[in-house]
Amino acid sequence: MDTAKKRKRSVYTASMVLLFILFGAFAVFPIVTLIIASFKPAQELMRFGLNLKIDPAIFSLKNYSYLFTGESLYLTWYWNSLLITAVFTVLCLLLSSMVGYGLAVYQFRLRNLIFVLVLVMMMIPIEIIMLPLYKLSISLKLINNIWGIILPFAVAPLPIFFFRQYASGLPRDFLDAGRVDGCTEFGMFFRIMMPLMAPAFSSMAILQALFSWNNFLWPLIVLRTNEQLTIPIGLSTLLTPYGNNFDMLISGAVLAILPILAVFLFFQKYFIEGMTAGGVKG
Amino acid sequence: MENASPATADRTAGINGRRKLTRILYSQKIAPWLFVLPFLISFALFFAYPVISAVNMSFQQVLPGQVQYIGTDNYEKLWNPIFWKAIVNSSKYTFYTVLILIPLPLVLAVFLNSKTMVLKNFFRSTLFIPALTSVVVAGTVFRLAFGELEGSLMNTIVVSLGFDPQRWLRSEALGMFALVLLACWRWIGVNLLYFMAGLQNIPKELYESADIDGANTWNKFSRITLPLLKPISIYVFTISIYGGYSMFTESYMLWSGNRSPNDIGLTIVGYLYRNGLEQNNLGLGSAVGIVLLLITIAVTIVQLKLFGMFRKEE
């Protein structure tokens, strides 16, 4: 390659890198300002707004220590969020993987119709059925109850779709071998196929846990008392027409991102597979 | 033998029962139905029933303990300037987010995917980080950044560019700008992932043979990359439209609750929430839901026609 061409190429790469640094800064900037603000007293924030100024004189952990005192319900919200996310994710993966597997492996009547119903469910925004679902939850006594948040969405169309695609690609020989050895159909699912579907489980676990951790609208409708709230709903109650409790809101928001950020850093691969599940395989 | 004790009878019944259970567990006819059973129950209870119920309620006046059919009254009531404003706001928001959140991530994905690019994974992950935050967290940051004080982040920026400080969240155009910027911030990284996944599925040989034929970069982009990204683009387009029309939380967070000045941030779902839940008028709220359903179906059909999805089937 001649030098002119080489130089042209490196100029191109350098400008690309610069472009992505700019977009990367745009992506990270709000979170960085949030973290910086979480160490400052709220009055400072009200007066000067969000900024990048780092002033050790006014920095303190006071906003954080407030979260852990008895005056705030933050720890209760955190526990609620953890519990709901854990139960929801486990239940959703178990049920959705069963359904997806059933649709992929067996030939039976109405199989295609059921799969079409899964797709229909994927196509309709849940906001449309929110009010009837709310009414139903009242009659099922699911209001202000963690099951009210979990049950209506525990069998989710996207994971079913994903597990179905994944299970279709698995070798069937294991199944025949299992049947010869006297394994039940369910035994084969739990002992043979589930381990084979482990990568699909990781991707979907992350996707569903992220959804549940950040879920807003439905918990906002279902949850009533302060002690039952999850982090997003709890934080949103700090903004009121009569004044905003920013010191608690901001430190609380930072602590809410931390677990996801940690999981993301360690399991990026599964994150990315989970996020793109709907598009690529479809 | 004739007068078998109750205990033996129980045991025989037990064995029969167990045999039945064993037969079920081994049956390849019954097993699939057991596997899909959770879906059938959940679909009937938490989806089909609510959908039918939404249609039904939209023709009713629902008061505690008293339900009455009132024909199309709810729909007639929707013919009002506030709901119209909600529709316009949602449509504008959808339009701008689609306008930005498809071409921009697509081009970025092509750049990031190019052979000479360095630090690919690092940039991909960095751009993805906003998607990890909840709308509540993101909304809080943007709300503060778009504050009215002169010291707020956005005002510092516009002042340093030589403009006057703005009251961002009180103006119709600037409020929409804040909403769209928030959406872009959260979704660029996600859509970038979709397009990169799409790019990975394009066979390299196509570019190699194009090189041999002497095609330039633009030709390769417009003749190979774009057409082959069509399926993933349609997917991203569809979810963007659905997400756009059902947007609620972003506006709820920017204007603390469902109360923006002059309803500049009111969306269709915001109107549904206001009528159905805040004012407890489930009938009117359901009618809003049905209108939203019709809008999304209509947009989907138009879009499928535009992209020629129906023609392919013939």
With b for 16 or more beta-carbon neighbours within 10 A and e for fewer, the B1-29 pattern comes to eeeeeeeeeeeeeeeeeeeeeeebebeee
Which residues lie closer than 8 Å to B75 by C-beta, 6 or more apart? B58, B287, B291
| pLDDT band, very low/low/confident/very high, at A125 (cuts 50, 70, 90) | confident
Mean per-residue pLDDT for A13-42?
90
| pLDDT band, very low/low/confident/very high, at B6 (cuts 50, 70, 90) | low
For B208-263, what is the HEC assignment?
A: HHHHHCCCCHHHHHHHHHHHHCHHHHHHHHHHHHHHHHCCCHHHHHHCCCCCCHHH
Output A5-13 pairs: Cβ under 8 A, ≥24 positions apart: A9/B116, A12/B116, A13/B116, A13/B117, A13/B118
On average, the pLDDT of chain A sits at 87
* Of A17, A106, A231, Cβ closest to residue B32: A106
Q: How far apart are CA A248 and CA B52, in angstroms?
A: 43
Nearest residue on chain A to B239, alpha-carbon basis: A123
Strand ranges, E, within chain A = 239-240, 243-244
CB B90 within 8 A of CB B273: no
Mean per-residue pLDDT for B254-280?
88
Q: Does A151 touch chain B (CB under 8 A)?
A: yes
pLDDT of B171 reads 86
| pLDDT band, very low/low/confident/very high, at A42 (cuts 50, 70, 90) | confident
Mean per-residue pLDDT for A23-29?
93
The answer to whether residues B145 and B80 belong to one domain is: yes
Mean per-residue pLDDT for B236-243?
89
Is residue B247 pLDDT above 70, yes or no? yes
pLDDT of B215 reads 85
Partners of residue A115 in chain B, C-beta under 8 Å = none
Q: How far apart are CA B247 and CA B242, in angstroms?
A: 8
Mean per-residue pLDDT for A209-227?
92
DSSP string, A19-49: HHHHHHHHHHHHHHHHHHHTTS-HHHHHHH-
Partners of residue A19 in chain B, C-beta under 8 Å = 111
The answer to whether residues B152 and B230 belong to one domain is: yes
Is residue B5 pLDDT above 70, yes or no? no
Q: Where are the domains of chain A?
A: 3-66, 68-280
In a mutational test of the A interface, the residue from B144, B166, B218, B274 whose CB has the highest number of chain A CBs within 10 Å is B144
Nearest residue on chain A to B194, alpha-carbon basis: A276
Mean per-residue pLDDT for B196-215?
88
On average, the pLDDT of chain B sits at 86
List A residues 66-105 in contact with B (Cβ-Cβ < 8 A): 95, 98-99, 101-103, 105
pLDDT of B1 reads 40
Question: Do the chains contact at B151 and A210, CB–CB below 8 Å?
Answer: no
Partners of residue A235 in chain B, C-beta under 8 Å = 136-137, 140
Question: Do the chains contact at B38 and A221, CB–CB below 8 Å?
Answer: no
Mean per-residue pLDDT for A126-150?
92
* Of B32, B45, B126, Cβ closest to residue A24: B126
* Of B46, B144, B193, Cβ closest to residue A49: B144
DSSP string, B87-139: HHHHHHHHHHHHHHHTHHHHHHHHHHHSTT--SHHHHHHHHHGGGGS-HHHHH
CB B199 within 8 A of CB B229: yes
Cα→Cα distances A255→A228, A232, B56, Å: 19, 11, 43
| Percent share of chain B, pLDDT over 70 | 91
The answer to whether residues B131 and B179 belong to one domain is: yes
pLDDT in tens, B59-77: 998 877 788 888 888 999 9
* Of B116, B133, B252, Cβ closest to residue A257: B133
Instruction: Give the single-character DSSP code of B148.
Output: S
Mean per-residue pLDDT for A95-124?
91
B185 falls within a domain:
yes
Q: What is the CATH number of the domain that holds B96?
A: 1.10.3720.10
CB B283 within 8 A of CB B62: yes
Structure tokens at A88: 């929801």
The answer to whether residues B215 and B268 belong to one domain is: yes
In a mutational test of the B interface, the residue from A84, A129, A136 whose CB has the highest number of chain B CBs within 10 Å is A129
Question: Do the chains contact at A102 and B35, CB–CB below 8 Å?
Answer: yes
Nearest residue on chain B to A106, alpha-carbon basis: B32
The answer to whether residues B196 and B253 belong to one domain is: yes
The answer to whether residues B79 and B50 belong to one domain is: no
What interface predicted TM-score (ipTM) does this complex get?
A: 0.88
B66 falls within a domain:
no
Partners of residue A31 in chain B, C-beta under 8 Å = 129-130, 133, 141
Structure tokens at B62: 């629902």
pLDDT in tens, B75-130: 999 999 999 999 999 999 999 999 999 999 999 999 998 888 888 889 998 999 99
In a mutational test of the A interface, the residue from B25, B36, B107, B237 whose CB has the highest number of chain A CBs within 10 Å is B36
DSSP string, B163-175: PPP--GGGSHHHH
Fold classification of A68-280 (topology level): MetI-like fold (1.10.3720)
Q: Give how many domains chain B has, as a whole number.
A: 2
Cα→Cα distances B37→B33, B42, B114, Å: 6, 8, 47
Is residue B308 pLDDT above 70, yes or no? no
Strand ranges, E, within A65-216 = none
The answer to whether residues B273 and B156 belong to one domain is: yes
Residue B187 distance to chain A (closest CA, Å): 10
Residue B40 distance to chain A (closest CA, Å): 8
| pLDDT band, very low/low/confident/very high, at B15 (cuts 50, 70, 90) | low
Question: Do the chains contact at B108 and A232, CB–CB below 8 Å?
Answer: no
Q: Does A45 touch chain B (CB under 8 A)?
A: yes
pLDDT of B178 reads 93
* Of A27, A127, A132, Cβ closest to residue B248: A127
B245 falls within a domain:
yes
Is residue A92 pLDDT above 90, yes or no? yes
Mean per-residue pLDDT for B223-244?
89
B134 falls within a domain:
yes
Reduced to 3 states (helix: H, G, I; strand: E, B; else coil), residue B66 is strand
In a mutational test of the B interface, the residue from A127, A235, A255 whose CB has the highest number of chain B CBs within 10 Å is A127
B62 falls within a domain:
no
| pLDDT band, very low/low/confident/very high, at B52 (cuts 50, 70, 90) | very high
Phi, psi at residue A239, to the nearest 5°? -95, 110
The answer to whether residues B145 and B284 belong to one domain is: yes
Q: Compute the C-alpha angle B268/B273/B276, nearest 5°.
A: 115
Q: How far apart are CA A126 and CA B282, in angstroms?
A: 16
pLDDT in tens, A249-266: 889 999 999 988 888 888
Mean per-residue pLDDT for A32-57?
78
Partners of residue B34 in chain A, C-beta under 8 Å = 102, 185-186
Q: Does A276 touch chain B (CB under 8 A)?
A: yes
Mean per-residue pLDDT for A49-62?
75
Count how many pairs of residues, chain A against chain B, have C-beta atoms within 8 Å: 289
Q: Does A13 touch chain B (CB under 8 A)?
A: yes
B193 falls within a domain:
yes
Lowest mean per-residue pLDDT among A29-38, A55-64, A164-173, B258-267: A55-64
Residue A70 distance to chain B (closest CA, Å): 23
Q: Does A119 touch chain B (CB under 8 A)?
A: no
**Can you give the residue range of the structural domain that contains B95?**
75-313
Q: Does A268 touch chain B (CB under 8 A)?
A: yes
The answer to whether residues B291 and B191 belong to one domain is: yes
Q: Does A242 touch chain B (CB under 8 A)?
A: no
The answer to whether residues B261 and B112 belong to one domain is: yes
Question: Do the chains contact at A28 and B25, CB–CB below 8 Å?
Answer: no
Structure tokens at B71: 């024909």
- Give me the residue label for tokens 């849940």: A126
Question: Do the chains contact at A30 and B25, CB–CB below 8 Å?
Answer: no
Q: Does A111 touch chain B (CB under 8 A)?
A: yes
Mean per-residue pLDDT for A67-79?
86
Distance of alpha carbon A212 from the chain centroid: 5
Is residue B3 pLDDT above 90, yes or no? no
B186 falls within a domain:
yes
Is residue A45 pLDDT above 80, yes or no? no
The answer to whether residues B44 and B189 belong to one domain is: no
Q: How far apart are CA B297 and CA B314, in angstroms?
A: 22
